[in-house]
Structure 1
Amino acid sequence: MKDVYDVTIIGGGPAGLYSAFYSGLREMKVKIIDVQPELGGKVRLYPEKVIWDVGGMPPTTGDEFRKQLIEQGLRFDPAVHLDTKVTSFDRLDDGSFVIYTDKDTHYSKSVIMAAGGGIITPQKLNVTGADRFELTNLHYTIQALDRFKGKKVLVSGGGNAAVDWANELSPIAGEIFHVYRKEEPTGHEAEVARLKRGPVQSFPCTRITELKAGSDGRKIALVVLERDCVTEPFELEVDEVVVSHGYERDMELLQQKKEEIGVSDDGVILGGSDGTTGIPGLFAAGDLLRHDGKLNLIAGAFHDAANAVNQAKQYIEPDAMKYGMVSSHNDRFKDWNEKIKAQRNCTIC
């Protein structure tokens, strides 16, 4: 006998985790499927970065924020399938869905697509032999800033992430170089201004052409660069290299039903502000969804998630309330609230 869930959420980032929490609040049977080995979505890639722009939350690192997201998202014990790629899905005659993965098959009354920008893989440095340094001093993300303390660091890339890393590392590294292909970096305005004010040595119109190992043969010691305005390649001595050239997106799942769902040429769902898509019972939230008034912030992902869940609830239970009750008035939190109050009273005593 097949086990049918009320809602299956494809994606375990901020939008997916908040969808799971809000679905539990609305007393739905929930499942999360994520291709990554861990929950957290793209936030996993920035464990050391400080997040300031989530309402009511003091500045916190990506790693701390991810842990809190997971704790909240798993509050109502959803089923979780990690390291699992959804390969296709079909809407059945009764309006429910069958979801095929690279491991097994799942059944659900509704589906919320919350896979962010798709399956995210950092774009690798297109230089011969670069892969042999990935276990030593070539990085596509930064797990710990302390590793770079006092070192000569080269950051390659002109987008938001590269600019952010150059700024974050500038007070920590001994010397920092920033190379990018265009005349100007294309990061957020305030971060680019901060970059220009700081000690970072910038090399516009420049690309990495070769990585040279040191005497041990294991680590990069010299980076060979070519610059549009310089006829001969030149070298920089480095201790660490950080490459942030963007991410490769796997949008195959959406492309299978591009016309039915309503997918743009650049691979996002052109849906309603309430999370609806061109397929009844299939909803979307987070970076994967574009609509009028869309806010591409984590706060916007939470808003999308709540809307998608409310729509899913009404899809499977047409007589259900349009919106879930706020947590302060929801009986599902009564016992937990009493425990929290008791703990605080004990601390005050």
Structure 2
Amino acid sequence: MTQALELYDITIIGGGPAGLYAAFYSGMRDMKTKLIEAKEELGGRLLIYPEKMIWDVGGITPIRCEQLIKQLIQQAHTFDPTIVLGQQISGLERLEDGTMLLTAVTGEQHHTRSLVLALGYGVMKMAKLDIEGAERYELTNLHYTVEQLESFRNKRVLISGGGDSAVDWANELEPIAESITVVHRREHFGGHEKNVKRMKESSVDVRTPYAVTRLHGNVSGDAIEAVSIAQINADGALMEETERLGIDDVIVNHGLRGDFGSIVDWGMDMGQWNINVNEKLATNLPGIFAAGDTANYLSKVKLIAGAFTDAVLAVNSAKLHIEPAAAKMAYVSSHNTKFKERNKALGVSEEDA
């Protein structure tokens, strides 16, 4: 059965920033590449926040997530890798020749010489609002992401949560909404300090430590018209006294819950949220490397820029695993022969390149 499968030099599991850049960079390393994504679309966690502004990618001015995804996908296709969507990998079999056979939950198989795990924190699911009956409002005005800022114009919006996204949404919606109230269970916000400061100095009504205790539906029962909130005491318990706030929309950002599936049974050295690797981004299993949020090591940089660096290091290690005499890294694009013809197609002379 494995003889009929096409053998790839490198297989990348995960289609977020780290996986997409790994697919591009492996092309620079002349590797036959396959990328497998569990979802039906590429983008990873960025898909959850399509309108969120990204400021910290080197050389790129502030850009929305949805546009960054498009550009990453376009770049990933540069060297025509095989891209497979809608397959969650669960099984790993090491063959006699050292290559690996991967099996998806749906039964499809993939044959590879090396493997890069760019899974983020696994298959991500939004943590839902833990209030009885909340799900009935998900089709109307209870939201777990913000897809169109304009849909909240002149609305009274309550945001429950204190992470990066909750803070970013509060800042972006503050100029266009009638009012913004942020309810967070802790005094401290997990967002970037500069953004938290901006939120607190704006017209946003910040309630900490508070939690949403009840959703009040309208007459027809299909939308929320008010919420009850209560303060949390020093012991972490809700106080009995509540306050009722009239609202038009509720946005919930209580974090994500990741699931690595059967990969946790492969025998890798893992923490709760990621896989432990060395300075070469290698796991404890031969030929298997990790990149992006999946990888954990001492000098980890938890930025998209860091995910790109992880991808480069993991791919370089994968290249040396299957071809020990290979160069340690690819030539930079300005001196890489792979880009000469592509530069000509763009109308760029060799002198300018």
Q: TM-score, normalization: structure 1? A: 0.93
- Cα pair 1:155 1:241 within 8 Å, conserved: yes
Q: Which amino acid aligns with 1:306?
A: V
Which of 58, 73, 78 is residue 75 of structure 1 equivalent to? Answer: 78
Q: Partners of 1:27 and 1:276 in 2: how far apart?
A: 20
Q: Partners of 1:80 and 1:209 in 2: how far apart?
A: 45
Deviates more, 1:300-309 or 1:213-222: 213-222
- Cα pair 2:171 2:198 within 8 Å, conserved: yes
Deviation at 1:342, TM superposition (A): 5.8
5 Å matches for 1:218-229? Answer: 218-228=222-232
Deviation at 1:341, TM superposition (A): 2.2
Give the aligned partner of residue 142 of structure 1.
146
Q: Which amino acid aligns with 1:178?
A: V
- Cα pair 1:254 1:267 within 8 Å, conserved: no
Note if 1:305 corresponds to 2:308.
no
- Cα pair 1:273 1:304 within 8 Å, conserved: no
Which of 230, 248, 255 is residue 246 of structure 1 equivalent to? Answer: 255
Give the aligned partner of residue 331 of structure 2.
325
Give the aligned partner of residue 59 of structure 2.
56
Q: Which amino acid aligns with 1:38?
A: E
Q: Partners of 2:320 and 2:264 in 1: how far apart?
A: 27
Note if 1:208 corresponds to 2:212.
yes
* SS at structure 1 position matched to 2:240: coil
Q: Partners of 1:181 and 1:44 in 2: how far apart?
A: 26
- Cα pair 2:92 2:101 within 8 Å, conserved: yes
* SS at structure 2 position matched to 1:232: strand
* SS at structure 1 position matched to 2:346: helix
Deviation at 1:115, TM superposition (A): 0.6
Consecutive unaligned residues of structure 1, counting only runs of 5 or more, are: 344-349
Q: Partners of 2:304 and 2:273 in 1: how far apart?
A: 20
Q: What is the identity percentage for the equivalent residue pairs of Structure 1 and Structure 2?
A: 44
Q: Partners of 1:268 and 1:157 in 2: how far apart?
A: 23
Q: Which amino acid aligns with 1:241?
A: V
Give the aligned partner of residue 291 of structure 1.
297
Q: Partners of 2:23 and 2:270 in 1: how far apart?
A: 24
- Cα pair 2:90 2:263 within 8 Å, conserved: no
* SS at structure 1 position matched to 2:308: helix
* SS at structure 2 position matched to 1:43: helix
Q: Partners of 1:299 and 1:84 in 2: how far apart?
A: 27
Q: Partners of 1:231 and 1:305 in 2: how far apart?
A: 50
Q: Partners of 1:333 and 1:182 in 2: how far apart?
A: 51
Q: Partners of 1:342 and 1:272 in 2: how far apart?
A: 40
Give a deviation string over 1:99-155, Cα, whole Å, max 9, x none. Answer: 111221111111000011111111011111111211211111111111111110000
- Cα pair 1:269 1:284 within 8 Å, conserved: yes
Give the aligned partner of residue 121 of structure 1.
125
Give the aligned partner of residue 263 of structure 1.
270
Q: Partners of 1:217 and 1:335 in 2: how far apart?
A: 62
Q: Which amino acid aligns with 1:142?
A: V
- Cα pair 1:112 1:284 within 8 Å, conserved: yes
* SS at structure 1 position matched to 2:311: helix
Give the aligned partner of residue 190 of structure 1.
194
Q: Which amino acid aligns with 1:85?
A: Q
* SS at structure 2 position matched to 1:236: strand
Deviates more, 1:89-98 or 1:21-30: 89-98
Deviation at 1:232, TM superposition (A): 2.4
5 Å matches for 1:76-91? Answer: 76-91=79-94
Give a deviation string over 1:280-329, Cα, whole Å, max 9, x none. Answer: 10011111111122111111111110111111111112222111111122
Note if 1:315 corresponds to 2:321.
yes
Q: Partners of 2:189 and 2:42 in 1: how far apart?
A: 31
Give the aligned partner of residue 236 of structure 2.
none
* SS at structure 1 position matched to 2:66: helix
* SS at structure 2 position matched to 1:161: helix
What RMSD in Å do the two structures reach over aligned CA positions? 1.6
Q: Partners of 2:30 and 2:188 in 1: how far apart?
A: 50
